[in-house]
Amino acid sequence: MKPSLRAVLAVVVLAAPLALTAPAQAANTLTMRGADVSSLQRSLDLGARYYNASGAQADPYDILAAKGVNYLRLRIWNNPISGYNNKAKVLQQARTIKAKGFKLLIDFHYSDTWADPGKQYPPAAWAHHSLSQLQNDVYTYTHDVCTALKAQGTTPDAVQIGNEINVGMLWPAGQVVNNNFAPLASLLKQGYRATKACNSGTQVWIHTANADSNANARWFYDGIRAQGVTWDVTALSYYCMWHGSLANLYNVIADVKSRYGKPVVLAETAYQFTTANADHQGNAIPGTVLCDNIPATWAGQAQQFSWVQNTVRNAGGVGVFYWEPTWYAIRGNGWDPADINGTGNGWDNMAIFNWTGHVNPHVVWTP
């Protein structure tokens, strides 16, 4: 989910031109070409229609596959009021995803609603639990969801233990205060243990929105590593209007890859195709801040996404996930899970489908 707006530390890198111009044959391969489709089941249940680049109505999963997507991400909330993105709905959607041949990433928010750098609210059922109780909660819940997925033949290929946990999760118990990573580390370890107990081959990702600077990324990942936390993939969010230049992104990816010796993935990115708004809900990203002077058009959206992929590839990353490309403006699929019918969609200008469900013909995921 989108990070809070904060200052971006400037980083000068002599290798910046590689972010855009390094030859393809010298680049790494993006083996994880992903999309977060967490809102898609609700859209389909409401009758949303999707159209491919030829203008023909088609299954949105097939449209994404034709665009080069091979990995899909689902967020899971413990007990959202909306009744979507909960365990039952994730199990349902996972069956479709696996049947279509995609790999599956489960994004544990450990909340009943959005968790991101500015808010990490425990689910209501855990609200008054101590740190030791929360350790047990994380283990039990993670293992239960993973085991249920495995039992129906949709074992997750990867899980995130928390979503954009820049300063911790399950606040206040798991918040990093005065550089004390021990409480957070105790929770992350339980998530790792539960995942591996369910299925040893499932990757554990630790996800932050720290693509803005080496200083922030090192502070966090050094902090958890010093506490003995184990993880398999370092995952970052990158929204250029918040996280700075592509040259800076290149520098951060290359640094964390070298420093921690783990594969690096962009778990979230997106770009606007318009500055207009489809409904009464204000756009989360208005589109007035352009990156690299790329316009808010279909061609511009595709260009920026291509440049992000090039940057990740050339920096040694192995994957890029577009956040909610299928979430176009469908009445009743609102922003707030506590009022899903009453709120609008703050992402309608960031999806790769326009307001009538037609896909941007220029957007592609490339190895």
Structure tokens at 246: 């592509």
Structure tokens at 157: 């290929």
306 C-beta neighbours (distance < 10 Å), count: 16
Looking up tokens 């998530």 gives 191
Cβ 310 vs Cβ 292: under 8 Å: no
Residues assigned a catalytic role: 164, 268
Cβ 322 vs Cβ 316: under 8 Å: no
Cβ 110 vs Cβ 138: under 8 Å: yes
Q: Is 223 helix (H, G, I), strand (E, B) or coil?
A: helix
What is the chain's alpha carbon radius of gyration, rounded to the nearest angstrom? 19
Burial (0-12, 13-18, 19+ Cβ within 10 Å), 34: buried
Q: Residue 330 is which amino acid? A: I
Q: What's phi and psi for 185, nearest 5 deg?
A: -60, -35
Interatomic CA distance for residues 349 and 281, integer angstroms: 11
Question: For residues 263-274, b (16+ Cβ closer than 10 Å) or e, as one string?
Answer: bbbbbbbbbbbb
Residues 6+ apart with CB under 8 A from 23: none
